[in-house]
Amino acid sequence: MADFDVVVLGSGPGGQKAAIAAAKLGKRVAVIEKRNMIGGVCINTGTIPSKTLREAVLYLTGLNQRELYGASYRVKDEITVTDLGMRTQHVIGREIQVIRAQLARNHVTVLQGTGRFLDPYTIGITGEDQDEKKVTADKIVIATGTSPARPASVEFDDKTVIDSDAILRLDRVPETLVVVGAGVIGIEYASMFAALGTKVTVIERRERMLEFCDLEIVEALKYHLRDLAVTFRFGESVAAVERRPRGALTLLESGKIIPADCVMYSAGRQGKTAELCLEAAGLSADDRGRIKVDENFATEVPHIYAVGDVIGFPALAATSMEQGRLAAQHACGEPSGDLAELPPIGIYTIPEISFVGRSEDELTRDKVPFEVGISRYRELARGQIIGDSYGMLKLLVSSEDRRLLGVHVFGTGATELVHIGQTVMGCGGTVDYLVNAVFNYPTLAESYKVAALDAMNKMRTVARLTADL
C-alpha cells in the first residue's frame, strides 16, 4: 500500500484546495512544501502581499480622500517601507496561520522540503538536513506554480534591478522607478508606486497594454496613471540595463536612456518544474516550464494531475483554487462539474478594473450586435459620498435577446461589484432583471440599474425608429 492516497506538490491555492478536497473525501493526503513557503507564491510573494501593499498605500497616502479633502491630504507625510511592510507582514502571518489550521483540521500531513519524482509513484523530499526521504502515493497533484522570468541578459541584484519578488524587500521607497512590461503585475506595482509619489516610467514592447480589457477602461486607467506622473513608453524595447552606484540606466533600442533609482522587470513567469525531475515520471514541460493537462487536469500520465500557474493561463489564484478542487475530485473518483465558463478578471491597479464576459472589441470582431449601458459613479449618491468621480460601470447587452454579454467596471470596488454581473450572466439573466431590481441606496451596486436603464433606453430608441414607417 502507498504511504498516501494523494500527495500534492506545493501549498499555493491550487495545492491547498486539492489537498483539502481529497481529505474531505476521506483520503490520506500529504502536501510537500518548501521551508517558509506555506501558502505558496499567493501568500508569500504574490497576491496577498501585493494586495495588502496596495491597501496600505491607499490608506497612508489618503489618495482616495483627496477629492473631498483636497490635493494635499495625507494620513502620513513621509511613508517608509516599514510603514508599508508592517501591514503586509501582519496579513501574511495571519493567512499562513489560517492555512496551517485548515490543513491540520483536515488531517493533511505537511512534509517540509523540495520534492522531485523518483518514479511515477514515488516522490523524494529533500529537507534542510539534505537527506532525501521517500513517499509513495496512488495519485499525485503537481501545484508547484511559477517564479518571475529573468531575462539572461539582465543582471538582477535584488536592490537596483529587481523582479516582482524583490520589490517587496526594497529598503526605501524609490524616487524614480522603471517598470519593464505593462502586464497585470507590472502595471499594478507601477500604480502603487505612482500613488506613493514615485516617478514611474513604464516600458512596453507592444503598442497597447492589458489588451484583454475593455479599451475605454484601459484608456481611463492610463489617464489616471499619467495624472500620477507615470510616463508610458509603448512600442519600445529595452536594449540593456546598466547598474550604477546610485541607480540604473535603462537603455532603449530607440536610443533613449532612462535613469532611475530602481528597475523592476515584469517579464512573465516561468513554471517551477526544473527541479521536479519530471522525466522520472514520464512527463515533460514546455520551454516556459508549463505542464500539459486535459479537461480534468490530468497529465499524460493519468494518475498525475497538474493545476494552477504551472499549467499556464489564466494563472490566477482564483482559478488555481478551483482547478485544485476539481483535479482532486476527479483523482478520487468523485463526480465534479466543469470549471465555470465565466471567470471574472480583477486587476488591482489604482483605480481597480474588473470584468466578466466579453469586450466590445471581441463582440464587434465576431459581429455580435450589442448595446452599451453606462453608469458613472459621479452620478450616484454613493460615488459622491466616497469621492469617486471617475468610476464607471459598463454593461454590454445583446440587442437580440437582451442577455448580458459583458460587464466592465472601473473604480472603487470594481473587483467586488463585478460579481453581481457574473451572477446575472451565469444564470442567463437579461437586462430586464437589472432594470426591475431594487438596489440598496446609496450604493455603488446601484450602477447596475443605472447602466441597465441606459442600455434599455437606447434599445427602445432603436425599436421606436424601426417601427416608424
Ligand X SMILES: Cc1cc2nc3c(=O)[nH]c(=O)nc-3n(C[C@H](O)[C@H](O)[C@H](O)COP(=O)(O)OP(=O)(O)OC[C@H]3O[C@@H](n4cnc5c(N)ncnc54)[C@H](O)[C@@H]3O)c2cc1C
Residues at the contact surface with ligand X, assessed by CB under 6 A? 9-15, 32-34, 37, 40-42, 46-47, 50-51, 114-115, 143-146, 164, 185, 272, 275-276, 308-310, 315-318, 320, 346, 348
Q: How far is the CB of 178 from ligand X (least distance, A)?
A: 17
Cβ of 381: how many Cβ atoms within 10 Å? 13
Q: How far is the CB of 244 from ligand X (least distance, A)?
A: 27
Indicate the residue among 45 and 375 with the shorter CB distance to ligand X. Answer: 45
DSSP secondary structure letter of residue 274: G
Q: How far is the CB of 340 from ligand X (least distance, A)?
A: 14
Contact 311, 298 (CB under 8 A): no
CB neighbour list of residue 388: distance below 8 Å, 6 or more residues apart: 64, 67, 351, 377, 378, 411, 412
Q: How far is the CB of 275 from ligand X (least distance, A)?
A: 5
Q: Which helix (H) or strand (E) holds 404?
A: strand 404-410
Which position has the grid cell 518514479? 119
96/247 Cα distance (integer angstroms): 35
Chain centroid to Cα 266, Å, comes to 13
Indicate the residue among 137 and 317 with the shorter CB distance to ligand X. Answer: 317
Indicate the residue among 200 and 434 with the shorter CB distance to ligand X. Answer: 200
Indicate the residue among 247 and 289 with the shorter CB distance to ligand X. Answer: 289
Indicate the residue among 194 and 452 with the shorter CB distance to ligand X. Answer: 194
Q: How far is the CB of 296 from ligand X (least distance, A)?
A: 17
Q: Which helix (H) or strand (E) holds 83?
A: helix 81-105
Indicate the residue among 168 and 450 with the shorter CB distance to ligand X. Answer: 168
Indicate the residue among 305 and 348 with the shorter CB distance to ligand X. Answer: 348
Q: How far is the CB of 427 from ligand X (least distance, A)?
A: 23
Report CA dihedral (145, 147, 153, 155) to the nearest 10 degrees: -160
Instruction: Tell which residue, 168, 162, 161, 172, has the closest CA to residue 197.
Output: 172
Give backbone dihedrals phi and psi of 386, rounded to 5 degrees, phi first. Answer: -90, -5
Q: How far is the CB of 111 from ligand X (least distance, A)?
A: 9
Indicate the residue among 9 and 135 with the shorter CB distance to ligand X. Answer: 9
Contact 410, 391 (CB under 8 A): yes
Q: How far is the CB of 38 from ligand X (least distance, A)?
A: 7
CA quadruple 318, 320, 321, 322: dihedral sign: positive
Residues in the chain: 469
Indicate the residue among 44 and 61 with the shorter CB distance to ligand X. Answer: 44
Helical pair 13-24 and 317-331, crossing angle rounded to 10 deg: 30
Contact 161, 265 (CB under 8 A): yes
Indicate the residue among 97 and 364 with the shorter CB distance to ligand X. Answer: 97
Contact 122, 2 (CB under 8 A): no
CA distance between the termini of the chain: 80
Indicate the residue among 384 and 415 with the shorter CB distance to ligand X. Answer: 415
Q: How far is the CB of 463 from ligand X (least distance, A)?
A: 41
CB neighbour list of residue 178: distance below 8 Å, 6 or more residues apart: 200, 201, 202, 203, 248, 250, 258, 260, 262, 263, 264
Q: How far is the CB of 208 from ligand X (least distance, A)?
A: 21
Q: How far is the CB of 192 from ligand X (least distance, A)?
A: 11
Contact 350, 64 (CB under 8 A): no
